[in-house]
Amino acid sequence: MRCSLMASLCVFVVNGPASSIRGALQRCMLEIAPGVFTGRIPAKVVRALWSEIQERSDSAVAVVSGRNEMGITVLTHGSAKRTIVDNYGVPLVMYRKAKNNKNPR
């Protein structure tokens, strides 16, 4: 998926990253909680980091500046209970149902 990323504030939430990814993120971003990195970095660096995160982590979410109604783009990687769906430029969160969910009705 190709996104138009502008140089601005970025947030990465990474689960199970390789130590090299954690080190790369810590060099240019602030780790505000375990696995949560934020900072203002150029779009070229965001794309390079996102590519590495996809290759060397279990799952991840990135929130970057975007050209839509909300002004953000949400990128996801790996298996997650949530999926981001674009609704006329507004990103919405869609929750996946559990496979063994029994409906009492």
Give me the pLDDT at residue 1, please: 41
Residue 67 pLDDT: 79
Domain ranges for the chain, please list them.
8-95
pTM: 0.77
User: How many other CB atoms sit within 10 Å of the CB of residue 29?
Assistant: 19
- List the chain pLDDT tens, one digit each, 105 residues: 444 444 688 999 999 888 889 999 999 999 999 999 999 999 899 999 999 999 998 889 999 988 777 788 888 898 767 788 888 877 788 887 766 656 555
For 8-95, the fitting CATH number among 3.30.70.240, 3.40.50.720, 3.40.50.300, 3.40.50.360 is 3.30.70.240
| pLDDT at position 73 | 86
Output the CA–CA distances (angstroms, integers) from residue 87 to 5, 8, 11, 84, 95, in the order listed: 19, 23, 22, 10, 15
Residue 67, CA distances (Å) to 8, 73, 88, 99 in order: 12, 8, 12, 35
pLDDT value, residue 16: 86
